[in-house]
């Protein structure tokens, strides 16, 4: 299955982000903790390379805790400031503000030497669709300033949000890149819900996910649905449809419906905390 999604609004958003780069001191790059490799947009990675950068492994609560630790170390070793977070928690504010200041230490020091007393920091929050950028900003602001929603493409325009304490954040629309060279990348981004549902084949997507889980997290599926670990993906899907009463009018298993259920439960970590990539 070749998944590609790069609509016009992303080209526009990317251009506007590029234009706003000159206004910011820091780029806060949100990466989905379940796909810390494929979920890093190369266009964002190459944006403002001379700027300070803070990496947030977001939705860490949905990812495998061991992998979170490995990925944090991996990016830290590359010289980045890194934090793994559940951005829905308002309590993240203190540690994030501390990291923002650490990441901008040079600028703050420069301002101090110039005698600037009310030094301020402006940061652009960037990442793929649905990674949690607006949620992250709202938790830091302590109020629902930015619109959020559990589907990709909720934020359509850029918006400055004032955090107080001399820090302003720019919310940006989630962007992907023109072509996924690795078909696995497209697949993983679709599994986590960063690709528009309407262009996907749900059943094929779920079968591929079941195949991955059978290898990487065999207990996840058998534990949740009580199906035999030895079954292949289509057999598992049919068994889940039967067990969950997903039936078409004639009594046939409704595998399309079961596929939607599996994807939904995976995305909400009902199958457990699952990572799709390892640094190794
Ligand atoms: N479990 C979990 N859910 C999160 C986290 N951060 C955000 N979410 C959820 O993810 C969904 C998407 O959040 P948004 O903040 O709208 O994502 P966004 O990156 O702004 O998305 P776009 O504007 O579409 O690019 C929402 O349902 C949030 O509640 C997190 O750390 N953990
Ligand atoms: Mg948003």
- Residues 80-130 pLDDT 10s: 999 999 999 999 999 999 999 999 999 999 999 999 988 999 999 999 999
pLDDT band at 193 (very low <50, low <70, confident <90, very high): very high
Give the CA distances from residue 13 to residues 16, 33, 142, in Å, rounded to whole numbers and listed in that order.
5, 23, 26
Q: Please, which pLDDT band fits residue 278 given cuts at 50, 70 and 90? A: very high
Question: What's the total number of domains in the chain?
Answer: 2
Q: In whole angstroms, give the CA distance from residue 207 to residue 59.
A: 24
Half-sphere exposure in the Cβ direction for 113 (13 Å, CA): 6
* Cα angle 190-191-192, degrees, rounded to a multiple of 5: 95
My answer on whether 161 and 32 are in the same domain is yes
Compute, in angstroms, the gap from residue 42 CA to the centroid of ligand 2: 19
The reply to whether 167 and 30 lie within a common domain is yes
Match 């923002």 to its residue by tokens: 100
Q: What is the DSSP letter of 62?
A: G
Residue 173 has pLDDT above 90, yes or no: yes
Q: For residues 194 and 32, is the Cβ–Cβ distance under 8 A?
A: yes
- Domain extent, residue 74, equals 8-171
Is residue 177 assigned to a domain? no
Instruction: Specify the CATH number for the domain of residue 233.
Output: 1.10.1580.10
- Measured from the alpha carbon of residue 129, the closest ligand is 1
Q: Is the CB of 72 under 6 A from ligand 1?
A: no
Rounded to 5 degrees, what are φ and ψ at 153? Answer: 90, 25
140 assigned to some structural domain = yes
Per-residue pLDDT tens for 244-269?
A: 999 999 989 999 999 999 999 999 99
Instruction: Find the mean pLDDT for residues 148-168.
Output: 96
Residue of 14, 135, 140, 264 with the most ligand 1 atoms within 8 Å of its CB, for mutation: 135
Q: What is the DSSP string of 64-109?
A: -HHHHHHHHHHHHHTT-EEEE--TT-GGGHHHHHHHHHHHTHHHHH
CB under 8 A, 24+ apart: contacts of 220-225: 220/271, 220/272, 220/274, 221/271, 223/271, 223/272, 224/265, 224/270, 224/271, 224/272
Sole residue written with tokens 């990348």: 185
Residue 143 maps to a domain: yes
Distance 129 CA to ligand 1 centre (A): 9
Among candidate residues 171, 191, 219, the one where a domain is terminated: 171
3-state SS class at 122: strand
65: pLDDT strictly greater than 90: yes
Answer yes or no: do 249 and 160 share one domain.
Answer: no
Q: Please tell me whether residues 114 and 217 are part of one structural domain.
A: no
Considering only CA atoms, which residue is closest to atom 6 of ligand 1? 132
Q: What tokens appear for 163 in the block?
A: 């955090």
Q: Is there a single domain that holds both residue 223 and residue 114?
A: no
Task: Report the pLDDT averaged over residues 227-255.
Answer: 92
Could you tell me if residue 214 is inside a domain?
yes
Dihedral in degrees, nearest 10, Cα atoms 162, 164, 169, 170? 10
- Is the beta carbon of 155 within 6 A of some atom in ligand 1? yes
Query: 208 with 145, same domain?
Result: no
The CATH number assigned to the domain holding 160 equals: 3.40.50.300
Residues with Cβ within 8 Å of residue 241, at least 6 apart in sequence: 247, 253, 254, 255, 257, 258
**Mean pLDDT of all residues in the chain?**
96
Q: Are 30 and 160 within one domain?
A: yes
What local confidence, expressed as pLDDT, does residue 11 receive? 97
Distance in Å, CA 150 to ligand 2 centroid: 10
Q: End of a domain among 171, 188, 217? A: 171
Are 161 and 133 a contacting pair, CB within 8 Å? no
How sure is the predictor about 40, in pLDDT bands with cuts at 50, 70 and 90? very high
The pLDDT of residue 125 is 98
Question: Residue 191 domain-assigned?
Answer: no
């400031």: which residue's tokens? 81
At 1 the pLDDT is 82
């Amino acid at each position: 299955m070749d998944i590609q999604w790069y609509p016009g609004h992303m080209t526009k958003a990317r251009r506007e982000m590029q234009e706003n780069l000159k206004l910011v001191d820091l780029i806060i790059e949100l990466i989905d903790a379940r796909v810390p490799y494929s979920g890093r947009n190369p266009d964002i990675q190459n944006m403002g390379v001379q700027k300070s950068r803070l990496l947030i492994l977001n939705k860490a609560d949905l990812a495998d805790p061991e992998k979170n630790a490995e990925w944090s170390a991996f990016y830290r070793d590359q010289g980045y400031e890194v934090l793994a977070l559940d951005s829905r928690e308002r309590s993240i504010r203190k540690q994030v503000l501390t990291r923002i200041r650490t990441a901008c230490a040079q600028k703050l020091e420069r301002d101090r030497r110039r005698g600037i007393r009310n030094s301020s920091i402006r940061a652009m929050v960037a990442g793929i669709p649905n990674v949690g950028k607006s949620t992250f900003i709202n938790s830091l602001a302590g109020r629902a300033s930015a619109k959020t929603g559990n589907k990709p493409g909720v934020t359509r325009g850029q918006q400055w949000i004032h955090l107080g304490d001399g820090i302003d954040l720019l919310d940006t629309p989630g962007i992907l890149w023109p072509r996924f060279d690795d078909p696995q990348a497209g697949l993983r981004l679709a599994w986590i819900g960063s690709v528009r549902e309407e262009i996907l084949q749900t059943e094929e997507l779920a079968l591929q996910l079941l195949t991955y889980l059978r290898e990487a997290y065999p207990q996840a599926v058998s534990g949740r649905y009580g199906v035999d670990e030895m079954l292949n993906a289509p057999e598992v899907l049919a068994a889940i449809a039967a067990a969950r009463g997903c039936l078409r009018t004639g009594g046939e298993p409704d595998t399309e419906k079961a596929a939607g259920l599996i994807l939904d439960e995976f995305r909400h970590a009902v199958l457990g905390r699952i990572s799709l990539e390892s640094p190794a």
